[in-house]
Copies of this chain bind each other. A is one copy, B any other.
Amino acid sequence: MKKILVLFLAIPFISKAQHQDSIFIKQMSDDILLNGKAYDWLHHLTKNIGNRLTGSLAFYKAIDWGKKTLQEAGASNVILQECVVPHWIRGHNDAVSISSINSKKQDIQLQAIALGNSLAGKANAAVISLKSFDELEKRKDEVKGKIVFFNYAFNQTYVETFNAYGDAGKYRYIGASKAAQYGAIGCLVRSLSGSTDNFPHTGAMKYNDSFPKIPAVALGLQDANKLWKMCNDSKVAVSMCTHGKFLKDTIAYNVIGELKGSEHANEFITIGGHLDSWDVGEGAHDDGAGVVQTMEVLRVLTAMHYQPKHTIRFVLFANEENGLKGGVKYAEEAIAKKEKHLFALETDGGGFSPRGFSFKMNNDEQLKKVQSWLSLLQPYGTYKLEAGGGGADIGPLAGDQLKTPIAELSPDSQRYFDIHHTNNDVFETVNKREVLLGAVNMAALIYLIDKYGL
């Protein structure tokens, strides 16, 4: 494209009452796009600290860095909120290889990674390859002593990839125990992804205590396809070996920075992402991007000398990936202290170009109020302000006791599950402007909710 374009700038209708808001939001946007620090912070978090599974040394480094950086970004005070967390370790590298039964060919190593929370185990057995749990039920008598391979593919016809993730997720989360129920001695699952590459994707699984805790491993998609084809062509044996174990529960911290409210200091707005990551890659999109976007909102409100009416809390949650103990603790303490929580916003969908927000409100009026601000957010990429969202870490705030309205940023989802929970979730896959634009939209929403309430 060589043409020099000056695109028509759609100027949506805004009332006079919204004019001041649009000016302030534009000032925040300009400041973030010109002076934002999110990208530099993310570089430090990913390259100097790296991946940071709950309980790991890097995770504690991230807590120290998070505290220091929230102060640098302008928090009037930063506290560490203690919580007890699980401490799972992968142990050595996981290994999976296949060989045709009765063949003397060399073993074929597969791109494989043990699922998070899975335990050490070895299995060397024939594979039964299945498309679904339904097929498992039909063929349950064939499973005993074998390795079950669930090859349930991402449904590529979903335009929003989170729907494909939701659809396929149960095979990762409970597939191993489903298989163990019928006597399987190992479980392989197709990675939760629609990517074109072969990176295997880890992520949380959970054993059912009623059945043997068999090793559970995800395969890269190319190798999943290869194994599937080999299983269709002939009998196949797989050798698998994992080393996961839980150490003793340990202490971790949510890192909480505050901007004190000038009118309602005891009413809270929460904005946050999670500081932990899986033990692969650099946790750049998941959820380094959310962490630095949270800090960026704090930075820009401070730079604008904005005095919030309500106290805004910027929270780096602990242990989202394999326990959610940080999010649970945050809500428990809020309940114990009888805090009033006006709203909570989470950013944990990747640092991609923002497209809007997804809300879990208490009634239609709250959603309609937010939707009335659409024209203020549209210039920055937001066009969806819809029901259906939430967020794992802030989910407990929305429970029966606090009933806090919650929401999450909705970035473009096309690339997210290519890199999610893999060694490829690295800084280089994050685009500076995309992560900053997410922060622009978050800052605008937080500002409007602080100013107008819900």
Contact assessment for B6 and A166 in the assembled complex, using a CB-CB cutoff below 8 Å: yes
Contact assessment for B388 and A165 in the assembled complex, using a CB-CB cutoff below 8 Å: no
Question: Which of A56-64, A138-146, A307-315, A429-437 binds B?
Answer: A429-437
The answer to the question of A414 belonging to the interface, with a C-beta cut-off of 8 Å to chain B, is yes
Q: List 20 A-B contacts (CB under 8 A).
A: A1-B286, A1-B320, A1-B349, A1-B392, A2-B204, A2-B321, A3-B395, A4-B169, A4-B173, A7-B160, A8-B388, A9-B388, A10-B386, A33-B159, A156-B433, A159-B381, A161-B433, A383-B384, A414-B431, A414-B433
Chain B residues near A30 (CB, 8 Å)? 157
| A358-B8 contact given A320-B1, A431-B414, A434-B415, CB 8 Å threshold | yes
Chain B residue at minimum C-beta to C-beta distance from A195? B432
The answer to the question of A299 belonging to the interface, with a C-beta cut-off of 8 Å to chain B, is no
A201 to chain B, nearest CB (A): 12
Q: In the complex, A258→B325 CA distance in Å? A: 60
Contact assessment for A166 and B39 in the assembled complex, using a CB-CB cutoff below 8 Å: no
The oligomer's copy count stands at: 2
Contact assessment for B434 and A33 in the assembled complex, using a CB-CB cutoff below 8 Å: no
Contact assessment for A7 and B194 in the assembled complex, using a CB-CB cutoff below 8 Å: no
| A196-B432 contact given A29-B157, A160-B7, CB 8 Å threshold | yes
The answer to the question of A368 belonging to the interface, with a C-beta cut-off of 8 Å to chain B, is no
Instruction: Name the residue among A7, A165, A381 with the largest chain B CB count within 10 angstroms.
Output: A7
The answer to the question of A51 belonging to the interface, with a C-beta cut-off of 8 Å to chain B, is no
Chain B residues near A159 (CB, 8 Å)? 29, 33, 379-381, 437
Q: In the complex, A324→B324 CA distance in Å? A: 57
Chain B residue at minimum C-beta to C-beta distance from A356? B383
Contact assessment for A166 and B2 in the assembled complex, using a CB-CB cutoff below 8 Å: no
Q: Pick the residue among B10, B348, B433 that contacts A194 (CB under 8 A).
A: B433
Chain B residues near A358 (CB, 8 Å)? 7-8
